Structure 1
Amino acid sequence: MLTALALFLAACLAGVVNALAGGGLLFTFPALVAVGVPPLLANATANIASWPGYVSAAVAMRRELGQHRRWLRLLLITGVTGGITGAALLKVISPGFFSYLVPWLLLLATLLFWQGKALLAWLGHAPHQVNHPLLRAGSWLIGVYGGFFGGGMGVMMMTLFSLSGIPSLLTQNALKIFLSLVLNTASVIVLLATGLAAWEHLPPLALGYLLGGYAGGRVMNHIPQHWLRRGVVGFGLLMSGVFFWRAYV
């Protein structure tokens, strides 16, 4: 019961963070490893459990998404193909190699979350016209990364949308949620088909993601972003250090 409660709370927080900025895996992945799930299985389980959160966040932002159907069709194709490719990579990679890769992925996700705005400023202002080739190629690559690991992909998406010429932050965030839902749906199908899931931990995680995702989508404009950012970055750096210690010491 205590394990289920801890995973539920971690998933609630992850669902809110995913809806607001991305980076929820920084909470659920370490929580699963802490209760004894091997890293490769924990990563797959966290990805599967996050699906209800993306669904509820997309429902909460359905009006904004309905105004941009032309971009949704493009992201649907790239998200599905990228998510399937990334999830398939998890099946062929060795658990030992993944354990060594985890701390680097966590650190990358944390740094992207932390310095996402600075990265945008360094890259310069987005063009006035939407760059569809860049949007198509970039969203596929992010789909591969999201299907494989996913931590920090929200910042990658926001960066891509800005560079592609989508100016509104609200629109960028809505498209981020849609692309996350699409690639996550595709990767979940692959992961379930290949048996990469700790089934006993999915119910509390899925419920937490569902509630957190909807809450994040509803209160997106009312939570101080700097509070959220500092908390996620601090936790991400801590978990990166823990996993570096586990893998290399």
Structure 2
Amino acid sequence: MSDIFLLIIAGFGAGIVNALAGGGTFLTFPALVFIGIPPVAANATSAVAVFPGYLAAALGFREEISAIPRSDLLRACLASLLGGLVGGLLLLVSSNEIFALLVPFLLLIATLAFAFQNFIQKALSQSGVRIASYGWIGLMAVSIYGGYFNGGLGIVLLALYALWGMKDLNQMNGLKNAMSFVISAISVATFAIAGIVHWPEALIMALAAIAGGFAGARLAKVLPTIFVRGFVILMGFGMAFVFFGRLMA
């Protein structure tokens, strides 16, 4: 019963964190390892567990998402799906150790890009450089990252949207959760086919993550924007710090 309670708490918390910023994996993965699941299987089970929470959170922002032109939304879904597929395939043929060296730097850059959004946009504008909204290159690059390594995906997506010039944080969060769902679909299917998912634990956490996703979406709408932005930045720097710590260990 204590293990089940831990899984429920971790899943619910992950759903809230993913809805607000991203990084829920850092709650689910340690919980699964703590109850005795091997790390590789715990990583796969964690991915399955948080997967439906993304959809729940996106539904919580359905009004904001519906305001996005359908053609742009369709382009984003296709780019995210293809990028997620490429990232998932790369994971099967590449070394986790090499990518682990890049992860903290990617998270740090993404968090800085989100934190200094206005400054970067002004600098790009003055230099004549423009990052196209819903462009295939940026979406594909981030989706490949997400398909290969899901940790901190929400932070990276929010940073990309900030560079596009998006201002409505609720809309950014809604789009982030929708694209996270699409990207994660590929890796979840891969793990399921490979047969390395611990399904009882995954289902318990998934149900809790769905509830957390709805709660997080509601919370994001009532909290002041400055608080949500601060939480996103804090989570980003925190995750980068954790991964830098792993490199130094």
TM interval, short-chain normalised: 0.7 to 0.9
> C-alpha distance in 2, partners of 1:213/1:199?
20
Are residue 81 (structure 1) and residue 82 (structure 2) matched? yes
How many residues are paired up? 241
For residue 150 of structure 1, give the secondary structure of its aligned residue in structure 2.
coil
Are the counterparts in 2 of residues 14 and 23 from structure 1 also a CA contact under 8 Å? Answer: yes
How far off its partner does 1:80 sit? 0.9
> C-alpha distance in 1, partners of 2:232/2:175?
20
How far off its partner does 1:53 sit? 0.3
Aligned pairs for 1:99-248 (under 5 A) are 102=100, 105=103, 107-108=104-105, 111=108, 115-125=112-122, 131-132=132-133, 135-223=135-223, 224-225=227-228, 228-229=231-232, 232=235, 236=239, 239-240=242-243, 243-244=246-247, 248=249
For residue 124 of structure 1, give the secondary structure of its aligned residue in structure 2.
helix
> C-alpha distance in 2, partners of 1:163/1:113?
10
Are the counterparts in 2 of residues 166 and 172 from structure 1 also a CA contact under 8 Å? Answer: yes
> C-alpha distance in 2, partners of 1:37/1:242?
23
For residue 219 of structure 1, give the secondary structure of its aligned residue in structure 2.
helix
For residue 220 of structure 2, give the secondary structure of its aligned residue in structure 1.
coil
How far off its partner does 1:103 sit? 7.9
Q: Percent identity?
A: 30
The letter for the 2-side match of 1:32 is L
Unaligned stretches of 5+ in structure 2?
none
Deviations 1:49-81 (A, max 9, x none): 111101111111112212212221011111111
Aligned pairs for 1:50-61 (under 5 A) are 50-61=50-61
Are the counterparts in 1 of residues 79 and 140 from structure 2 also a CA contact under 8 Å? Answer: yes
Are the counterparts in 2 of residues 15 and 211 from structure 1 also a CA contact under 8 Å? Answer: yes
> C-alpha distance in 2, partners of 1:79/1:230?
23
Are the counterparts in 2 of residues 116 and 155 from structure 1 also a CA contact under 8 Å? Answer: no
Are the counterparts in 2 of residues 161 and 172 from structure 1 also a CA contact under 8 Å? Answer: yes
> C-alpha distance in 2, partners of 1:115/1:187?
27
> C-alpha distance in 2, partners of 1:101/1:37?
23
* Structure 1 ranges of 4+ moved more than 6 A: none
The letter for the 1-side match of 2:27 is F
> C-alpha distance in 2, partners of 1:203/1:156?
27
How far off its partner does 1:162 sit? 2.1
Cα distance, 1:239–1:167 mapped onto 2, change above 3 Å: closer
Cα distance, 1:37–1:141 mapped onto 2, change above 3 Å: farther
> C-alpha distance in 1, partners of 2:197/2:57?
23
Name 1:98's counterpart in structure 2: 96
The letter for the 1-side match of 2:121 is G
The letter for the 1-side match of 2:228 is Q
The letter for the 1-side match of 2:171 is T
How far off its partner does 1:101 sit? 5.5
The letter for the 2-side match of 1:26 is F
Cα distance, 1:3–1:122 mapped onto 2, change above 3 Å: farther
